[in-house]
Amino acid sequence: AQSVSQHNHHVILSEAASLELGCNYSYGGTVNLFWYVQYPGQHLQLLLKYFSGDPLVKGIKGFEAEFIKSKFSFNLRKPSVQWSDTAEYFCAVNPRWNNAGNMLTFGGGTRLMVKP
């Protein structure tokens, strides 16, 4: 079955540390890729997206992600995290089939805690 895997379920970092969250998917065809963030008590917000073009995409709040097609990966990075980045992060994949529409398959999420 097609799936999205986020291998790090919980990550704890100190402020100013660098962040990389892994995301791998198993879809064989062309896909649109997303990272969403859910801050405590808030709803899911779009961090960044990749549809086509430059595989290194920049999002809000200093986040970026790199699409590596050969590895079926879309890892999220941030050079220096802040306490306010404490949240749950979800990777999501939208297959570009004719009947897929907006269907998103989400990974299980990674809970990031940043210690001040």
Partner 1 sequence: DAGVTQSPTHLIKTRGQHVTLRCSPISGHKSVSWYQQVLGQGPQFIFQYYEKEERGRGNFPDRFSARQFPNYSSELNVNALLLGDSALYLCASSFDSPYEQYFGPGTRLTVT
Q: What is the spatial distance between Cα 89 and Cα 101, in angstroms, rounded to a whole number?
A: 23
Rule CB under 8 A: say whether 113 interacts with partner 1: no
Rule CB under 8 A: say whether 76 interacts with partner 1: no
Tokens at 11, concatenated: 């990550």
Rule CB under 8 A: say whether 49 interacts with partner 1: yes
Q: Binding segment for partner 1 among 14-22, 34-42, 57-65, 74-82 (CB under 8 A)?
A: 34-42
Q: What is the spatial distance between Cα 61 and Cα 71, in angstroms, rounded to a whole number?
A: 26
Rule CB under 8 A: say whether 50 interacts with partner 1: no
Rule CB under 8 A: say whether 46 interacts with partner 1: yes
Rule CB under 8 A: say whether 68 interacts with partner 1: no
Q: Which residues bind partner 1 (CB under 8 A)?
A: 4, 32, 34, 36, 42-46, 49, 90, 92, 94, 96, 99-109
